[in-house]
Amino acid sequence: MNAVIGGLTALLYLLAGGALAARLAHAGADAPWPKGGPLALGWGAALLHAMILAQTVFQTPGLNLGFFNALSFTGWLIGVVLLAAAMIRPVENLGILVLPFAALTLILGLLFPTERIVANAEWPLELHILIAILAYSLLTLAAAQAVLLAIQDRRLRQRHPGGFLRGIPPVTLMESLLFQMIGAGFVLLGITLVSGLFFLEDLSDQHLTHKVVLSFAAWCMFGILLWGRWRFGWRGRTAIRWTLSGFAFLVLAYFGSKLVLELILQRY
């Protein structure tokens, strides 16, 4: 049953992402269709995805946060955050990247079931995990926004303002949205680092050294970027480079270390 629901979910994600891409490609037309239809498809996919996660992640012994389960849960939450934000802010074009990514994480989670049970997780630990993944989700959206902003900046520098750029908000608004995402993600990542101290017993024994060091490095990079924006008005390519660099550290902190420990070294 999960395979059937998973196939339908992936199809809805891809249809939603494809519809958003087609909408952007026809942005120059007189009456491009509204974003409500693609977002409705995305919400349908997210609901079905949540039904699968309820069985694969939230199990009786505890939370199953094996590599691909955690990846699927993260992909789902990134999609949900985007869909919610797109209802009030012009960020729906990020769905062209985010929704197919959510479909990929779902498929990988179903094809390669992994197990790493966080047994008897009480609500403070569950809240800590949720905040951590929410921070990761927001900063992933910021990275996607930075990629779109880089494409927009390059096209404008090459004096090619037409085409799909007509469906993207102005550069100033794009940058404003980018720093709003980074600001929210920075705060949540800081809360994650501080709250994680309450669950820390032995860095080496818990295999958390690399995760903590890289997460702190990412947090510092995003903090420097926000300070540079406030103090020196950093924008454009500088903001893009710092955003993508900080995100790279964040990916290595969680999924990089998790991949090495669980899939290569098989340490749980």
Q: Write the CA distances from 213 to 64, 65, 168, 220, 245, integer angstroms.
A: 24, 21, 36, 11, 15
Q: Count other Cβ atoms within 10 Å, centred on residue 268.
A: 11
For position 101, what pLDDT does the model report? 97
Residues facing residue 63 across a β-bridge: 58, 118
Same domain as 262, residue 187:
yes
Cα separation, 27 vs 219, in Å, equals 36
Q: Indicate the residue among 121, 141, 161 that finishes a domain.
A: 121
Same domain as 263, residue 176:
yes
For position 210, what pLDDT does the model report? 81
**Continuous segment of H or E residues that includes residue 49:** helix 36-56
For position 29, what pLDDT does the model report? 53
Q: Is the dihedral of CA 187, 142, 235, 243 positive or negative?
A: positive
| Tokens describing residue 82 | 């985007």
Residue-level pLDDT, tens digit, the chain, 268 residues:
788 999 999 999 999 999 999 988 887 555 467 889 999 999 999 999 999 999 998 877 778 888 899 999 999 999 999 999 999 999 999 999 999 999 999 999 999 887 777 766 677 888 888 999 999 999 999 999 999 999 988 888 877 665 667 778 888 999 999 999 999 999 999 999 999 888 776 555 555 678 888 999 999 999 999 999 999 999 989 999 999 999 999 999 888 877 766 666 666 5
Q: At what angle do helices 95-111 and 123-157 cross, to 10 degrees?
A: 140
Per the structure, the complete domain to which residue 144 belongs is given by 123-268
Q: What does pTM read for this prediction?
A: 0.90
Q: Indicate the residue among 104, 121, 138 that finishes a domain.
A: 121
Same domain as 264, residue 131:
yes
Same domain as 258, residue 202:
yes
For position 64, what pLDDT does the model report? 85
| Tokens describing residue 177 | 């949205």
User: How many domains does the structure of the chain reveal?
Assistant: 2
Same domain as 179, residue 116:
no
For position 155, what pLDDT does the model report? 82
Cα separation, 164 vs 148, in Å, equals 11
Same domain as 80, residue 46:
yes
